[in-house]
Structure 1
């Protein structure tokens, strides 16, 4: 009898967690467990205006070999974006037509992008290849995070704005 109750309780708990997860997903809620932005619960807010530099956004990365390698290296969490990765939370640092210069740091139209020092290797000592720089093409966004070890456009370059899910709005977050 106790075993049956335990199994029923576990089944009900699993169903409740599944239902809450589905409601959260459909309601645009996401859990961020990466240090690129504060940890915690975030909401995807629909975009009702033109994207501007400085906007904090959720973006699904494009399916391309560079991001497949990033997933293999565990730079990207598993999620429901195409390719099985979680959406990125990044700030828009440059828009189409702006010039991105890559050196030891990043410059946008000649202005230093704060917290943009490039690393030559990742935390496991593997080489990181920086983006070559250039003009952000139409339909693309240059994304950045102030976290020193963030995998962002410093390494993968501008990303298609077609992957834009919406603005990233914190609900319940904290900085570790």
Structure 2
């Protein structure tokens, strides 16, 4: 009876180590593995392209109370960004010059309502979520980053705009699939 348990334990350990090594190798080669519901699950490659509406980007969140809360509540992973935050992948929905309006009903860019952008007042655990409000034309260094797939994503509807300096790379999906 003990041999099957040892074999299972060794198999699980081997698989865990292999996945860890694979993820390190992927990051070194400029590939991100997304497992979150904010974007399609799969592999994303760093590309040398401009930040434009519709592009996917990897960014380090700015250090502030909202991202501290997100890290502490496990909305975002811990990582190597300042503040101990993990790098986030989101899609660009507004760029410099665009008019953005954010309230509880959702996000409007240049007068168009974005799907799945309504704010929730609390998370799945019943904890209150930030209620960010904005009405502005984005300046030369501001971007609106969010998920149009997941109405429960932690994104711009709760943390607002992201400065250009926070964006690390533009990434492009190379292999994705649905859950």
| TM-score (normalizing by structure 1) | 0.81
Could you tell me how far 1:70 is from its partner in structure 2?
A: 0.7
Residues 1:38 and 2:40 aligned together: yes
Gaps of 5+ in 2: 1-9
Corresponding residue number in structure 2 for 1:25? 27
**CA distance in 2: counterparts of 1:19 and 1:90, whole angstroms:** 24
Larger mean CA deviation between 55-64 and 22-31 belongs to: 22-31
After the TM superposition, which parts of structure 1 deviate over 6 Å for at least 4 consecutive aligned residues? 13-18
Aligned residues of 1:100 and 1:106 also touching (Cα < 8 A):
yes
Instruction: Assess if the C-alpha contact under 8 Å between 1:46 and 1:165 holds in 2.
Output: no
Deviations 1:11-36 (A, max 9, x none): xx798776644432221112212110
Instruction: Please give the secondary structure, in 1, of the residue aligned with 2:83.
Output: coil
Confirm or deny that 1:134 pairs with 2:129: no
2:122 pairs with 1:110: no
Q: Give per-residue Cα distances to partners, 1:43-83, cap 9 Å, x unaligned.
A: 22233x3x221212111111222111110011101233222
SS in 1 for 2:74: coil
Count of residue pairs brought into register by the alignment: 165
- Contact 1:44/1:165 (<8 A) preserved: no
Q: TM-score, normalised by structure 2?
A: 0.79
Instruction: Look up the match of 1:154.
Output: 157
What does residue range 1-176 of structure 1 map to in structure 2 within 5 Å? 20-47=22-49, 49=50, 51-103=51-103, 104-135=105-136, 136-146=138-148, 147-176=150-179
8 Å CA contact retained: 1:45, 1:167: yes
